[in-house]
Amino acid sequence: MTGQLPVLQVAAPLLCAPLCVLLRSRTVAWLLFLVASLASLTCAALLAVRVDRSGTLRYAMGDWQAPYGIEFVVNGFNTPVLLLVSLSAVVVAVYSRRSVAGELAPRRVPLLYACLCLTLAGLLGLAITGDVFNAFVFLEISSLSTYTLIAMGRRRQALLAAFRYLVIGSVGAVFVLIGIGLAYAVTGTLNMGDLAQRVTGGHDNRSLQAAVVLVFVGLAVKMAVFPLHAWLPAAYAEAPSAVSTFIAATGTKVAIYVFCRFAFTVFGATLVFGAMPVGRIGLLLAALGILLGSAAACFQDDLRYLLAWSSVAQVGYIVAGVSLATTAGVSAAYLHMIMHSVTKAALFATAGLLLLRLGTVRLAALAGVGRRMPWTFAAFVVAGLGLVGVPPTAGFVSKWALVTALVEQGQWLVLAAMLSGSLLAVFYVGRVVEVAWFREPTADAEPAAAPASMVTAIWFLVLLSVSFGFDASLPAHLADAAASALLGNGGG
């Protein structure tokens, strides 16, 4: 049984998806998603423990041995991603029941859960697969279901946001596909480990370099790296709350993982960061993304757009760490991936709760909300401080790691951008806090009581973020293991 864990990890949510549609019951669909995510979390945790003890796990799909069959590989570099995605799914499952009931027409609810199951399956598959074409398939599964989820947003703008993401995301996916095709043409294999072996020595091959460019540009769309971030703000802000919480926590993070996987264990660091200037371009785009994303967040009047723009900036932080291509840098990037995922999920979940209770999350409507809902807003403040990177929150831990990695490499300009980004974060988080705590309330109607399940989910995330801020040894251990697995090239 335990030998089948890697495939169960993906199969559980994938099987639950059609059941959600067939059974057509809101409660059953919700239960199925909850069960699927709990099953994935169990698999991910068991896999993480086994990898930590005995190293790389390989699973040949249908017993067709690699490089001919599809292979699932579990190693230090993807256990944090698997854990992150499945844990977010569990939290979102708890959160979503009441949140979805308040936002969607009842007949659509099972469809939403079906799509959530598919997204979960796609993201987990993307994280676990050891085959480049299979990675593309899972990328499409997760993307297509995400487009649908965003379109379920309650405002008409959601359709536009979903359509925009559909167009941009599909172009990106095609880039990835062409890149994979070129790599296949050059090397004659689709297995990641096999590709890595055949790529060495062919660094002057133009087709291979073109493959690298195409794959990375395509992935950059999914990662929302500046300037390919245009789809992100509206997509995050218009989606139903549960969906934006889930994709803000996981979507871009998994894409970044796939980027790392391709860069370090498929094409190889010597080709990507040595022969080609991907590292320098990455640092430049990261710095610009941090500055412009944070600046744009300062000018938003809607809480969810503000958070979404801040995500664009935070992706920049992670990309900067990866682009350093050092162990410290990649480890810091993983750490920030984990910390930011927890923090941003908490923030979007809080925004969703506010939306449910107030009907709007425009900043002007939030005046004095902190006094009327002190607990909800206290959660927002703590998580918001995590975005700024104030100690002792989770954001500080990862920012510390990133800043150390940058100082070691002497990247002073990126460091300056990163610190300016933090200062801008002080501004945009401070603005929300000030409006909510220190302004007099405008509306006199008491909002409805907060559903306990949503509050539980939010506070779970917030407390997780604070505990990581005080004792970061677990995420730091995961991140270090990931970095050494990627840079030690042991994964294949």
CB 121 within 8 A of CB 17: yes
- The one-character DSSP state at 448 is P
Whole-Å CA distances, 411 to 93, 292, 306: 41, 19, 28
Which residue number, 149 or 390, has a Cβ lying nearer to other proteins? 390
Which residue number, 52 or 471, has a Cβ lying nearer to other proteins? 471
Our finding on whether 52 is near other proteins (CB under 8 A) is no
Min dist. Cβ of residue 484 to other proteins (A):
13
Our finding on whether 185 is near other proteins (CB under 8 A) is no
Among 427, 442, 443, 488, binds other proteins (CB under 8 A): 427
Among 111, 210, 426, 463, binds other proteins (CB under 8 A): 426
Q: d(Cα 468, Cα 391) in Å, to the nearest integer? A: 11
CB 475 within 8 A of CB 339: yes
Binding mask 430-459 toward other proteins (x if CB under 8 A, else -) reads x---x--xxxx-------------------
Whole-Å CA distances, 405 to 323, 338, 480: 11, 17, 13
Which residue number, 133 or 437, has a Cβ lying nearer to other proteins? 437
Whole-Å CA distances, 247 to 117, 133, 224, 414: 12, 23, 12, 27
Which residue number, 27 or 404, has a Cβ lying nearer to other proteins? 404
Which residue number, 266 or 406, has a Cβ lying nearer to other proteins? 406
Q: Per DSSP, what are the bridge partners of residue 74? A: 57
Q: d(Cα 336, Cα 80) in Å, to the nearest integer? A: 12
Among 480, 482, 485, 491, binds other proteins (CB under 8 A): 480
Whole-Å CA distances, 225 to 161, 253, 294, 340, 403: 18, 11, 13, 16, 20
Q: Which residue from 209, 133, 142, 131 is spatially nearest to 169, judged by alpha carbons?
A: 142
Amino acid identity of 172?
Answer: G
- The one-character DSSP state at 72 is E
Instruction: Tell me how crowded residue 19 is: count the other CB atoms within 10 A of its CB.
Output: 17
Min dist. Cβ of residue 169 to other proteins (A):
35
Q: At what angle do helices 241-260 and 206-223 cross, to 10 degrees?
A: 160
Min dist. Cβ of residue 383 to other proteins (A):
14
Which residue number, 154 or 439, has a Cβ lying nearer to other proteins? 439
Our finding on whether 422 is near other proteins (CB under 8 A) is yes
Binding mask 359-398 toward other proteins (x if CB under 8 A, else -) reads --------------------------x--xxxxx---xx-
Among 24, 207, 442, 471, binds other proteins (CB under 8 A): 471
Where do contacts with other proteins occur on this chain (CB under 8 A)? 385, 388-392, 396-397, 399-401, 403-404, 407-408, 415, 419-420, 422-423, 426-427, 430, 434, 437-440, 470-473, 476-477, 480
